[in-house]
Every structure is written in structure tokens, then in C-alpha cells.
Amino acid sequence: MPKRALITGITGQDGSYLAEYLLAQGYEVHGLVRRVALEDPSRRVGRIAHLLDRVILHSASLESYPSIFHVFTQHAFDECYHLAAQSFVFESFADGFSTMNTNINGTHFVLAAIRELQPKCRVYFAGSSEMFGRASVTPQNEGTPFHPRSPYGISKVAGFELTRNYRETYGMFCCSGILFNHESPRRGYEFVTRKITSTVARIKHGRASVLYLGNLDARRDWGHAADYVRAMHLILQQPEPDDYVVATGETHSVREFCARAFARAGLDYRDYVRIDERLLRPAEGEQLVGDAAKARRVLGWQPTISFEELIAEMVDADLAAQAN
């Protein structure tokens, strides 16, 4: 029998790539979506539209324990990848209550339902480099103390600790991947990388004339989501549960991302980029760059798509979308 996996957040960037990857590995893939997505799949599940005849979707809300519990009464899962979250850092400052409710309670609900009904199910929790925030050391690894600088980062630390607690207290196979920034053509438009590449395409096609950004000197460790979902899967294939940093180990500035993205379209970013102070974060994290030595050593994982290739793929996809 094929392994059966449940992905919360299957309609997101990571969920869609993970669903593709698991299907290619022969899995039976199930996904958790909100009721409105099932009512209007043509508009709300765009990233997995090409997979709808190959995945099984369940309606549930991370804000409702009974709905989460019900899903686990319907099928027995070998693996659960908990990716669903309010994941936009800037939005977490605007609505911290919703971020905390979704990200902390939602994670607790998933873990509690699995413990109650399917304690042998292996669980992956999507951590984030935002948990490090004002990091005390660079680069950051699994032993670096957390110092989150946003409500989102705080919620992810809480989720990480919940996951570790279920592992240590109840003996469950619960793991966290502390993933640094990872992008793709499927990245949401609210994230700076996709905002840049989509606006580059609109400018190239005469549909925009300026790109407003915040801190151009902010530096991040950017990888490709397709590489990072491979790490998620590898984490749950190990003989013992553990936590892993997943990162490229390289850092680049928003300015460099802009320069390369505009250049891909034959443009000079300095002619189009303007600073809007309203887009500056209330509290910017320190230089976040990951040390994924443990993942490379134990999992045998390493990224395959370079920073330059990532930008080229994103710009080309947005240019093609604008052309159509």
C-alpha cells in the first residue's frame, strides 16, 4: 500500500510543491483546506489546480479543533506536514491576535488530534528563520537561541516548542524544519520577492512605472521552495525524530534581488524603485543566514537551484503571465 500523507496548507507555495513531490514518490496525498476553497476551487486552489484529480481534499479550519479532529477520524495517515499558517510577517504586526490564534492554536489542535487518534503518525512542523529574529550569532543553526522580532516569529517559536513538547512528553515522532526564506513563481504577491518580480513584468509590459519597497539593505538567505520541500520529506524518513535548519548558507540583499530581477528583463532597477517608509518593518531582524550543516550531514540534503536561477525562473514566469 502507498504511504498516505496529509498536508495542511496544501494550496500554498510549499504545500503545492510538496504535494507534487509526494505524488511523484507514490504517496496518496490528502490536503486540508478551508470550506470556501472547496466551494470555489477554480479561484481558491490555483496552485494545485493541476493536481485536483490526484489529491483528496478535506474541509477544516485551524481555528476549530472539532473540524481538525474530524479529519483524523476519516483516514489513517502515515505522515502529516503541518504547513498552514498566517505566514506574512508584515501582516502579523497589523493583526497579531489572528496570527497567534491561527499559528499557535492551529498547531496545538493538529498535534492534539494526532496524539488522540493516530499517535504513530509522523508529524512535520514548519518552523521559520523568523524565530531567530535578533540572532546572537551568525550563521544560525539548531542550537542558536531564539529571539523573535515579530508576532509571526513569536507564534512560530510557540509552535516549535509545542512540537518538541509532544515529542518529548508523549514519545511521538514530531519534527520541526527551521526553514529560511524560500521562494518560487508560486510565492504570494505580498512577499517582497514576488512583489519585485511581478512588478518587473508589469513595468516591462507597460502596466506599471514604479516599484515601492521598504529596506533595500535587508539581507536574507533565499532558496527555492522545490528544494526545501525535499528536506521536509527527508526529515520524516529518519530513524529518530529531530529538528533541522534548512538554508542555503548564502545571504543577499533586497537591493541585489532587485538589480538581478530588473536586469533579467533588460531594465535598470534604479530607474524604477522608490522607497516607501510605510513598508519598513516596525522591528527588522538581524542578518539571518542559516547553517544547514546538520541537514547536509544527516539528511544528505543540499539545495540544487542557485540564487540567480531562482530569480530568473520567477521573472520569466511573471513575464510570461503578463504576456498572456
The gap between the terminal CA atoms of the chain, to the nearest Å, is 42
Residues 114 and 127 placed together within one structural domain of the fold:
yes
Cα 324 to Cα 205: distance, rounded to the nearest angstrom: 11
Amino acid occupying residue 132: F
Residues 130 and 99 placed together within one structural domain of the fold:
yes
Q: Which three cell numbers stand for residue 301?
A: 540534503
pLDDT less than 70: residues of the chain: 36-43, 281-286
Please tell me the predicted confidence (pLDDT) of residue 41.
Answer: 66
Question: Which of 79, 130, 183, 313 is flagged as catalytic?
Answer: 130
In a domain, 295, yes or no: no
Q: If you search the block for the grid coordinates 521598504, which residue do you land on?
A: 214
Residues 90 and 118 placed together within one structural domain of the fold:
yes
Q: Which three cell numbers stand for residue 178?
A: 527551521
Q: Is 59 a catalytic residue?
A: no
- Name the nearest CA neighbour of 51 among 85, 77, 89, 15: 15
Please tell me the predicted confidence (pLDDT) of residue 39.
Answer: 64
For residue 257, give the 3-state DSSP assignment. helix
Residues 174 and 194 placed together within one structural domain of the fold:
no
Please tell me the predicted confidence (pLDDT) of residue 42.
Answer: 62
Question: Which of 152, 166, 244, 269 is flagged as catalytic?
Answer: 152
Residue 316 has a CB neighbour count (10 Å cut-off) of 15
In a domain, 18, yes or no: yes
Q: Which residues of 156-177 are buried (b: 16+ CB within 10 A; e: fewer)?
A: bbbbbebbbebbeeeebbbbbb
Mean pLDDT of all residues belonging to the chain: 95
Question: Which of 128, 129, 176, 198 is flagged as catalytic?
Answer: 128
Please tell me the predicted confidence (pLDDT) of residue 279.
Answer: 80
Q: Residue 228: give its domain's CATH number.
A: 3.40.50.720
Residues 205 and 145 placed together within one structural domain of the fold:
no
In a domain, 297, yes or no: no
Please tell me the predicted confidence (pLDDT) of residue 11.
Answer: 96
Q: Is 130 a catalytic residue?
A: yes
* Domain interval for residue 165: 4-182+222-246
